[in-house]
Amino acid sequence: MTSPVRILGIDPGLRRTGWGLITAQGSKLTYGACGVVTSDGDLPLALRLRELFEGIGRIVESQQPDEVAVEETFVNKDAQATLKLGHARAMALVVPALAGLPVFEYAANLIKKTVAGSGHAEKVQIQAMVRFLLPKAEFRVADAADALAIAITHASHRDSHALRKAHMQAGKRRSLTGQAAAGQGLEGKGFSAAAAARIEAALAKQG
């Protein structure tokens, strides 16, 4: 049995930043908590960012996550809106980084594909799948549901990150036989030998 890992998902937004905490232990996911951090739209940008910084800081301190996952910025035709979102995302990245936590980033289409099976899934589909995967989840706004989806995505991709890091540190490709052996060596640490070998093979092709 692998050790439980507390994962905090963050869905950045200048007006509302959603957050969601889950615990992953092997393939089992357990709902922890979720909510939103808001900023006052009547305040100057600098003060709104301070509100987000402090709010996210309180969440990190109270929820004590082991790892953090943040959605990447979606660039649209409204450059001003994209820039504001980028400011909010910076707060979501820097706060856990200052707390010494590992932070991972995921594209929106990957999150949708991981949770709902389609990179073009609608929000209602995402929410339905979050409720299915986390039956005890309670959220009132889409931002919190999105944050839980981000956390779920990270839980599904944690092994690939760990194997990629090991691959980069090794500094060379392994043979397919070596990849299988590496998978077996990681099996007792929460990795499936078959999954490890498969991911290693994909990484080797990327070279």
Which residues are known to be catalytic? Answer: 11, 71, 143
Strand-pairing partners, residue 30, are 23
**Are β-strands 5-11 and 16-25 bridged in parallel, bridged antiparallel, or unpaired?**
antiparallel
Of 199, 206, 204, whose CA–CA distance to 173 is shortest?
A: 204
Cα-based angle 58, 63, 64 (whole degrees, multiple of 5):
100
Amino acid sitting at position 142: A
